[in-house]
Structure 1
Amino acid sequence: MSAPLLTVWYNTRCPVCDAGIRRQRWRLIETVKAGRIAFRDINVEPAALSAFGASLEDIRRRLHATDAEGRLLVGADVAIALWRMTPGESWLAALFGNAIALPLTRFAYDRFADLLYAWNRHKGRW
């Protein structure tokens, strides 16, 4: 089997992140079964993206993914890549990932991720 088109690294200890990824995995079930996308728990492989300079805390703070060419995607760019692959959600990628909206999308994603990360740390989810 060839490498997945997208490997998404996420934090299963975050209930919001885990629920979001479970929803996406369900929506992408055929793509997952075909091996075109993979979802990986960073808590199981904390050094998985160290070659990119991404720490465990970086990945707990924001989604990270690698694409088929070995490039690293972070934050909103991961969400947009997932939407592009998800049946019925490509319109989200077009809306939030276009050249005009993308800077605002990244800013909004990063602020939400910062708040979620702080909340998880406060709740002791590490």
Structure 2
Amino acid sequence: MLKLIYHEDGFWLEHLTTPLERWLNTRLMVAVRSAHSLTLEPSTASFILPDTVPHWDELDRLSRQESPCALLVEPCDEGYVEVCLHGIWVGENPEAEAGVFVARLSDRTEFLIYKLWQTAESLAQVSGDFLD
């Protein structure tokens, strides 16, 4: 499972081995027990990565093996590629700017996306640019 954590400064990506359903059930139980509202909504999330990160061809190939619209990988601005995921938005309300987006893809695809993001983050720290 991929987990994108959106906050006021950008987002953070995590790769979790916990099944999506178990993670959602746990999150729901915490919200109920703590008397906090929780919104679960099918949604999409996207982020950009520099096209200089290796293995784009492999991600493009893997994206075609996923279910339709689960993952789109497209060039966007010059020098960048957009990764768009279909999944579930988890937040206090549907319009919340901070929250969590979770998506389930094949293990290999999730791992590759996570590694590409980690590489891009490392490159951004070295160059002084930050993607989030």
TM-score (norm 1): 0.29
Q: Point out the structure with the larger strand share.
A: 2
Q: Which protein shows a greater Rg? A: 2
Alignment TM-score, normalising by the size of structure 2: 0.28
Please state which structure has a larger fraction of its residues in helix: 1
